[in-house]
């Protein structure tokens, strides 16, 4: 079994970095492969010393440095610390196809200095932490501020637990999703605070059995399913449970968004025990997302907006919901378009069409 366990103590190892379009640079990218420092990757030898040596070179070299942990090998590593501060102005760590990777960021933080990137919309802005094709992943006690783009991205992973994460970027920072999940299964996100300029958590195509528990979101765009079906593609998300979460000063709360012209499904999605504080669109389903001819007309008194394209959204259940305006005495409403399901104990009251069971 492949085992790679890393305990991180990080002190600002990503320094201010302007996009290539804005600043010309002659910096050379230096790469440091753990194999070159004596790592065997045979699943038997202790490769801890080689990892530490490779990190010291990566951290201590001026310019842009990349630490490479190659795939198709089995590394045995004890608890090691990748310490800063570093001489490098930018550090990349390439890790993919790794099983049992554990990252504990207790005592440290990562500052992405994103403000130097946000004004350049055409720049290929980086994500702070990206995990690809990893199994049995654990990431905990990590603090990230001011990412150039998404803070954490999980792609094609299975069995991951992300806990005690603190993400803090301005509410007006563009496309700075907190945690993006793609094509992944059995992902648990819990006990975390996410403040960002886009979705606190976005769950996208190919993802299933995703659980978000005890998440404090805000500012941000809420916890979103999608968007799905862009460019006419077939995309799916299933078995998502968001429970015991709070949304404060967000544009959205519980959100599902799909693009017109696409196909697929989003099913078995639940939001339970949700607390809302000054949320513009507490509950929203938008099946016209991204359309230039969108039929979505949002007003701030619509606490629930279910805008589904024909034939509609089915098997919707609204129960034990109580949403009131943050302005005392101002009424709130529910808007439904092609929505089918069941409504009980819900304020504002919603009128659903007869529900045709779709499995």
How much of the chain exceeds pLDDT 70, in percent? 87
pLDDT category of residue 110 using cuts at 50, 70 and 90: confident
What average pLDDT does the segment 215-244 reach?
97
Confidence category of residue 23, pLDDT binned at 50, 70, 90: very low
Q: How far apart are CA 4 and CA 106, in angstroms?
A: 18
18 vs 339, residue with greater confidence? 339
- pLDDT tens per residue, range 262-271: 999 999 999 9
The residue from 47, 151, 180, 221 that is catalytic is 221
- pLDDT of 9 above 50: no
pLDDT digits (tens, 9 = 90+) for 310-331: 989 999 999 999 999 999 999 9
Among 2.60.120.10, 2.160.20.10, 3.60.130.10, 3.40.430.10, name the CATH number for the domain at 131-288.
2.160.20.10
Question: Exactly one of 47, 104, 180, 198 is catalytic; which is it?
Answer: 198
Judge whether 268 counts as a catalytic residue: no
Write down the number of H helices and E strands in the chain: 2, 28
Band (pLDDT 50/70/90 cuts) for residue 138 is very high
Respond yes or no: is residue 221 known to be catalytic: yes
CA-nearest of 150, 189, 141 to 169 is: 150
Geometric angle at alpha carbon 355, from 317 and 331, rounded to 5°: 50
The set of residues, in sequence order, having a beta carbon less than 8 Å from that of 130 and lying 6+ positions away, is: 152, 153, 155
Judged against a pLDDT cut of 50, whether residue 127 lies above it is answered with: yes
**What span, in angstroms and rounded, lies between the C-alpha atoms of 117 and 90?**
14
Q: Which residues contact 115 (CB under 8 A, 6 or more apart)?
A: 146, 173
Closest among 161, 86, 104, 93 to 127, alpha carbons compared? 93
Over residues 320-348, the mean pLDDT reads: 94
Kind and range of the H or E run holding 49 = helix 48-60
- Is pLDDT above 70 for 248? yes
Per-residue pLDDT for 254 more than 90?
Answer: yes
Taking the domains of the chain in order of start, what are their residue ranges?
A: 1-108, 131-288, 297-359
Nearest to 165 by CA among 194, 135, 198: 194
* Structure confidence at residue 85 (pLDDT): 83
């Amino acid at each position: 079994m492949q085992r790679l366990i890393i305990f991180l103590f990080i002190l600002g190892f990503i320094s201010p970095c302007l996009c290539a379009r804005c600043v010309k640079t002659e910096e050379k990218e230096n790469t440091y492969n753990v194999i070159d420092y004596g790592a065997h990757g045979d699943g038997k030898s202790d490769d801890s010393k080689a990892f530490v040596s490779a990190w010291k070179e990566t951290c201590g070299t001026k310019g842009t440095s990349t630490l490479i942990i190659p795939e198709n090998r089995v590394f045995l590593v004890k608890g090691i610390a990748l310490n800063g501060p570093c001489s490098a102005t930018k550090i990349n760590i390439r890790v993919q196809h790794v099983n049992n990777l554990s990252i504990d960021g207790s005592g440290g933080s990562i500052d992405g200095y994103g403000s130097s990137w946000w004004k350049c919309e055409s720049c290929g802005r980086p994500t702070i932490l990206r995990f690809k094709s990893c199994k049995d992943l654990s990431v905990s006690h990590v603090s990230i501020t001011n990412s150039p783009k998404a803070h954490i991205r999980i792609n094609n992973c299975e069995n991951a637990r992300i806990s005690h994460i603190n993400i803090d970027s301005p509410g007006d920072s563009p496309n700075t999703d907190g945690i993006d999940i793609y094509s992944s299964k059995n992902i648990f996100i819990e006990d975390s605070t996410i403040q960002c300029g886009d979705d606190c958590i976005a769950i996208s195509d190919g993802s299933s059995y995703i659980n978000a528990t005890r998440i404090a979101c805000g500012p941000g765009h809420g916890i979103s399913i999608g968007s799905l079906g862009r460019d006419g593609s077939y995309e799916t998300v299933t078995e998502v449970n968001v429970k015991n979460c709070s949304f404060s000063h967000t544009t959205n709360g519980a959100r599902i968004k799909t693009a017109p012209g696409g196909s697929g499904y989003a099913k078995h999605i639940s939001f339970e025990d949700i607390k809302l504080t000054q949320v513009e669109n507490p509950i929203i389903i938008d099946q016209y997302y991204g359309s230039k001819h969108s039929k979505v007309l949002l007003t701030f008194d619509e606490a629930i907006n279910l805008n589904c394209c024909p034939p509609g959204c089915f098997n919707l259940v609204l129960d034990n919901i109580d949403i009131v305006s943050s302005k005392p005495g101002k009424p709130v409403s529910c808007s439904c378009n092609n929505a089918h399901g069941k409504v009980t104990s819900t304020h504002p009251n919603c009128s659903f069409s007869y529900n045709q069971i779709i499995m």
